[in-house]
Structure formats: structure tokens, C-alpha cells
Structure 1
Amino acid sequence: MRVFWGQGYEGASLTDLTHAMGITRTSMYAAFGNKEDLFRKALDRYTEGPASYGARALQEPTARQVAAAFLDGSVRATTRPGCPAGCLGVQGALATGDPGSDARDALTAWRNAHTSLLRDRFRQAVDEGDLPSDADPELLARYLMTVANGIAVQAAGGTARDDLQQVADMALRSWPPA
């Protein structure tokens, strides 16, 4: 997971991957299939580990608290000491050629799935009166995901955690009132 996170799909060589896992190529193919299959497993692990803040955020009692937890989690996950900066789900395969298209498509589906989860949670908030009836759950979800993705890109570029937290806090100032 960390090799793909730090180097991206195309930048991660089989030598890098097998070295990080302490296994041979033959063992890697036997255990994980091909590089694309290993990438998908790494993305699952990332989702359950560093990116698990997304699932936790959805459990918050109000839409504003969901948004705050999601953005705070994004800042923490993308600037975590001892881990690659940025987000595997954002930078893992944005700029890939044809050989990396499966990984790029997997990440697009991953980001879209998380946007859909946010949208559904915000629809629930509208139905419960926690968001105004004219709030657009799809737009709110896309807005949050766009800010979080931007935080990830900025983190990968070396922007400090405190500066990124200020961005997250600023984004929340435009959150619709209940």
C-alpha cells in the first residue's frame, strides 16, 4: 500500500513492491495475481486504514459534523507522519498511460463511490431537516470531495498540516445552516 501511495501505480515497480513485501515475484503473483490485482488490494487496505476517516465521518449526527470530520480526516490522513504525503486515492493513478488504465479507472470508481456515500448522507440530512430543503446533496458531496482532493494535492506538494486545516475550516464557513 505504501509503495503505491508514495510512488503511484506506474511508478511502483514490481521490484519495489516485492521488496516492500519481502517476497519474490513468483510469490507475489501466487498470492495477489497481477499488479492490478495487488493495487486493488492495496486500495482496499488504504480504505480500511488511512482513509477510514470517511466511513467514520458518515456516522456523525449532523451534516455539518459529517463535513467537518471528513475534511479534518482528510487533513490528518494526507499529512500523517511516517506515511507518504497526499492520498493514494487521488494521486495513485491520475496520470497514467494505457497500461495503468485499470488502476486509474479503479480510483475514479473509488472516488465516485465515496462521493455517492456523502451524497446519500446529505440526502438523509435534508429529509431529517438537518439541511435546508433546497440544499443540493449531490453538489455538497462533490464540493466536499473536491476540497478534500485539493487538500491531498496540496499535502503531496508539501503544504503544512496547519495551513491545510485552515483551508478545511474556511470551506466549512460556507456550509449551509440547518
Structure 2
Amino acid sequence: MTPRPGRPRSFDRDAALERAMLLFWERGYDAVTTRDLTEAMGIAAPSLYHAFTNKRVLFEEAVEAYAQRYGGYIEAALQNEPDSRSAVAQLLIGAVRQQTLPGRPPGCLIISGATNYSPASAETAAGLRQRRAHVRDRISERIRADIAAGSLPSDADPDRLATYAVSVWQGLALLARDGAARADLEASVRTAMQAWPQPAAATPR
């Protein structure tokens, strides 16, 4: 006997994932219940489990969707800017613009998605920490390249500078969630970048 094909999904998976992502972005992982998700996504719990396995897997998919749709400014800055200072400045300005998008929750899902979490959510929080650490490591790589090229002083500390940049990045997200205006956050970025080391002095001929 030929097995009957599975029933087709009666919902748009991508649209449902988008709604879940926005809910996680707004409230954070632990504050969102399965019932909240099914109501926001417009599906029943069995459909959620069938399509996404469980809440944690759904969240991981939502974070990846968020990174693809809203986090492209990070890699664009780190890849395309000519030096680490320009890369960090562009990354921070991009963060401000992403974190204050009209019609979207303020702040950043990768930064605020699991700030306060229960022991059961430790693995989820660790995944977000790894993403943030990756950004810090990429910034550190750009700084090391500038030091090697002589465009930053040899005594500049790549890890400390990268940690400083990520601290500003995360702070902007918290201020955005508190309702800070985009113009004020952009001004904060300009102030923060004044602490960046000056290019290494050219050797006199």
C-alpha cells in the first residue's frame, strides 16, 4: 500500500517565522510563551512543533533570519571599509539605524534577546553570546591588520579596542530600547569614536 503524502502546511512558513522573530525581538526569549507564539504566528501548537520542532529551534531560526535581514550592516562595515576606525564607525552608525527602524521593535535581538534568562535557557543565551563574540573577534582582526600595516600605533591593544567597540554597540541597543532618538545616538557614536587611537605617525624622511 502506497503511503499517503503528508498534509500540506496551511500557513506561510516564512511569514510565520517573521512574526515570531518580531515577537522575540520585542520581548526576548524567556518572556515569550508558546501560546504567545501561536497567537502571533496565526497557527496551532501542533503546526508550530511540526514546522519548527520546539521554541528553542524556532528562536534560533528567528535569530538567523534577523541576522540576514537586519544585521548585514555588520559584515558590510567590517569587509568594505578601508581601516578599522572607519569599519567600527560605520558599524556603530549602522547599528543606530537598524535599532531605530520605524515599525520595528527598538534595539537589537542579538544583543537583547536573552539578557535575563532562566537556567533552562542557558544554551539559547550562549548562542547569542557567541554571535556577539564573533563581532568582537572580527573587529579585533581589523585592528591587528591596521597595526601590522603601520596605520595604527604598535602599542594599540586590539582586544581592548574591540571590547570597547562592542561595549558601545551594545550600549546603543539598550539606549534605543529606552527610546533614545536616532540623532542622539548618532551623536554618541561620533563622541565614542574620538577615543579611537590616531593613525601612527609617518616616519620622517
Q: Per the shorter chain, which TM-score range?
A: over 0.9
> Is residue 137 of structure 1 aligned with residue 154 of structure 2?
no
Q: How many angstroms does 1:100 deviate by?
A: 1.9
Tell me if 1:29 matches 2:46: no
The 8 Å contact of residues 25 and 108 in structure 2, kept in 1 or not, is answered as yes
Q: How far has the Cα of 1:11 moved from its partner?
A: 1.3
Distance 2:70 2:151 in 1: 29
**Equivalent position of 1:13 in the other structure:** 33
What TM-score do the two structures reach when normalised by structure 1?
Answer: 0.94
Matches within 5 A, 1:1-178: 1-59=21-79, 60-178=81-199
Structure having the higher Rg: 2
In the alignment, the residues of structure 2 paired with residue 31 and residue 121 of structure 1 have an alpha-carbon distance, to the nearest angstrom, of 40
- The alpha carbon displacement at 1:99 in A equals 2.4
Contact 2:83 2:142 in 1 (8 A): no
Structure 2 unaligned residues grouped into runs of 5+: 1-20, 200-205
5+ residue gaps, structure 1: none
Shift of 1:49: 1.7
1:28-61: CA deviations, max 9, x gaps? 2122221111111111111112121111110211
* Residue 166 of structure 1: how far off its partner (Å): 1.0
Question: Please, what is the CA RMSD of the aligned residues?
Answer: 1.3
Q: After TM superposition, give the deviation of residue 24 of structure 1 in Å.
A: 2.3
- 1:151/1:20 CA distance change after superposition, 3 Å: same
Distance, in Å, in 2 between the alignment partners of 1:135 and 1:18 is 50
User: In 1, distance between residues paired with 2:128 and 2:32?
Assistant: 16
Distance 1:132 1:31 in 2: 52
Q: Which has the higher helix share?
A: 1
CA displacement at 1:84 relative to structure 2: 0.3
Tell me if structure 2 keeps the 8 A contact 1:63–1:131: no
Query: TM-score, normalised to structure 2's length?
Result: 0.82
Q: Residue by residue, what CA displacement relative to the aligned partner does 1:80-135 show, whole Å, maximum 9, x if unpaired?
A: 11110111112111111112222211111111111111111221221222222211
With a CA cutoff of 8 Å and minimum separation of 6, indicate the structure with the bigger relative contact order.
1
Residue-pair matches, total = 178
Indicate conservation of the 8 Å contact 2:84/2:139, yes or no. no
| Alpha-carbon shift at residue 16 of structure 1 (Å) | 2.4
